[in-house]
Amino acid sequence: MNDSAAADGIALRVDSVTKTFKVHHERATSLKQFIATGGRNRYEVFEALHDVSFEVPVGEAVGIIGHNGSGKSTLLKCMAKILTPNAGSISINKRMAALLELGAGFHPELSGRDNVFLNAAILGMARPEIARRFDDIVAFSELERFIDTPVKNYSSGMYVRLAFAVAINVDPDLLLIDEILAVGDVTFQQKCMEKFVQFRDEGRTLVLVTHDTSSVRNFCDRAIWLDHGEIKADGPPADVIDIYTETMLEAQASDDGSSRRGDGPVRVTKVDVLVADTRMERVRSGDDVTFRVHFESTEPVPNPVFSLMISSLEGITVTAPSSRDARAVPVSVDGSGYVDISVGDLALIPGSYVIHTEVSGWSRKHVYDHVQNARSFDVLAGETSEADGFVTLRPTWTWAGDGVSAERYDREVPPGSEPDDIT
């Protein structure tokens, strides 16, 4: 509690917070190394957050974005008092619930039921109140069948359902959520987003860490961009996300991770992944996705063949369409432009993919520009539940024979089966 914060309608105040970690080096593996280090383990001090300050007024929904390792989770853990800053302070003036790491706060050996009581009590709820809300919590989680199963047998999706159901039902005024929802299935994510909207409309305060910039754009009042532990931008989501994506793309373009060859007058300058005209880093299986390849040529180039290769992180080619195969080769290009390669109902299953591009002459022998690792993108779960391989062929299953029962189990889990069967 902080009375000065309460007085001016501030739900959360982060004041000059710095958080450092000791990063230990490997133990000495040779005598020489042992002597060099005097037999001690060496460590370096790493600053995960540097002088971070901002205030969140009551009723605001804030999205925190930033690259992997930029300090987002560290910041949320400091807010949730799981970590203590080395300098600066955080004052929280509201009843807070935090959804941070998967299963944090859950006891694996205890049943879902016991964990609900335990978790809600930790979040400050009295036992009679928990008992009163228990049915709502279980109903929201849709885990009726598994509520007496030890949570160690839950799938990650089930963990998230239960944790989220508890967090929103303890009636918090301030909710901190770290990425966690990406684990659940789409229907449940939808349900959570609806809950957020309701939450926000009730004047509660929300801090959301996510890589999904489109949900920040659509849902948050404000975005904060963390970069190497410092605030790089703080303001309206559209503005912050635009400069964030712009910077990330520039970094990708100049990244040593990409390599190019070719001597041609035409070069690929950028590759965008778009859904509904919005640039994305992550898309979903089943989305209508457009790959936009921007180019520039210094002189007229006749019959340029553009190809887009999509590979897995291990370098296996998943697909490699070209404008020549598609009979979509312009008579010439000159100056700048882009070509959209539009894919309806994306068949890629969840995972990370890498895009490579190539521009060549008609025969494809003369390569004008080949960019290896032009960019990467992630595919999140969509309507398909398939998880193996790279694509779904959207098969239809038809059973036949007298020995087959007429009814089928749909998404419902058959009684007596392992809870891991669902997400």
Ligand X SMILES: Nc1ncnc2c1ncn2[C@@H]1O[C@H](COP(=O)(O)OP(=O)(O)OP(=O)(O)O)[C@@H](O)[C@H]1O
Positions in the binding site for Mg ion (CB under 5 A): 73
What is the per-residue burial (b if ≥16 Cβ within 10 Å, else e) of 362-392? eeeeebbbbbbbbbbbbbbbbebeeeeebeb
Fill in the DSSP letter of residue 26: P
Q: What is the 3-state secondary structure (H, E, C) of 33-53?
A: HHHHCCCCCCEEEEEEEEEEE
Instruction: Specify the residue for token string 């521009």.
Output: 359
Does 375 help bind ligand X (rule: CB under 6 A)? no
Q: Which of 8, 9, 23, 190 binds ligand X (CB under 6 A)?
A: 23
Cβ proximity to ligand X: between 98 and 309 the closer is: 98
Residue 390 contact, options ligand X, Mg ion, none, Cβ 5-8 Å cut-off depending on partner type: none
Cβ proximity to ligand X: between 74 and 392 the closer is: 74
Cβ–Cβ under 8 Å, residues 169 and 140: yes
Q: Which of 13, 72, 204, 375 binds ligand X (CB under 6 A)?
A: 72
Residue 74 contact, options ligand X, Mg ion, none, Cβ 5-8 Å cut-off depending on partner type: ligand X
Does 210 help bind ligand X (rule: CB under 6 A)? no
Please state whether beta strands 205-209 and 317-319 pair in parallel, antiparallel, or not at all (unpaired).
Answer: unpaired
Residue 21 contact, options Mg ion, ligand X, none, Cβ 5-8 Å cut-off depending on partner type: ligand X
Cβ proximity to Mg ion: between 4 and 352 the closer is: 352
CA of residue 1 relative to chain centroid, distance: 32
Q: Which of 48, 158, 305, 308 binds ligand X (CB under 6 A)?
A: 48
Does 102 help bind ligand X (rule: CB under 6 A)? no
Q: Which stretch binds ligand X (CB under 6 A): 62-70, 129-137, 152-160, 193-201?
A: 62-70
Please report how close the Cβ of residue 184 comes to ligand X at its closest, in angstroms.
17
Q: Tell me how far apart the alpha carbons of residues 59 and 330 are, in angstroms, rounded to a whole number.
A: 53
Cβ–Cβ under 8 Å, residues 112 and 102: no
Please report how close the Cβ of residue 43 comes to ligand X at its closest, in angstroms.
10
Cβ proximity to ligand X: between 211 and 267 the closer is: 211
Cβ proximity to Mg ion: between 73 and 373 the closer is: 73
Cβ proximity to Mg ion: between 73 and 357 the closer is: 73
Cβ proximity to ligand X: between 50 and 324 the closer is: 50
- Can you state the angle between helices 186-201 and 156-169, rounded to 10 degrees? 20
Q: Where are the alpha helices (DSSP H) in 142-227?
A: 156-169, 186-201, 213-219
Using CB atoms, what's the residue nearest to Mg ion? Answer: 73
Phi, psi of 148 (to 5 degrees): -100, 10
Q: Which of 71, 172, 184, 286 binds ligand X (CB under 6 A)?
A: 71
Virtual torsion, Cα 98, 163, 230, 60, nearest 10 deg: -60
Cβ proximity to ligand X: between 74 and 93 the closer is: 74
Q: Tell me how far apart the alpha carbons of residues 94 and 98 are, in angstroms, rounded to a whole number.
A: 12
Virtual torsion, Cα 130, 133, 135, 139, nearest 10 deg: -120
Q: Which stretch binds ligand X (CB under 6 A): 7-15, 70-78, 164-172, 369-377?
A: 70-78
Cβ proximity to ligand X: between 165 and 224 the closer is: 224
Residue type, 130: I
Please report how close the Cβ of residue 19 comes to ligand X at its closest, in angstroms.
8
Q: Which of 63, 66, 237, 264 binds ligand X (CB under 6 A)?
A: 66
Q: In this structure, how many other beta carbons lie within 10 angstroms of the beta carbon of residue 112?
A: 28
Please report how close the Cβ of residue 211 comes to Mg ion at its closest, in angstroms.
9
Q: In this structure, how many other beta carbons lie within 10 angstroms of the beta carbon of residue 347?
A: 19
Please report how close the Cβ of residue 209 comes to Mg ion at its closest, in angstroms.
6
Does 70 help bind ligand X (rule: CB under 6 A)? yes
Query: Contact positions toward ligand X, by CB under 6 A?
Result: 21, 23, 46, 48, 66, 68-74
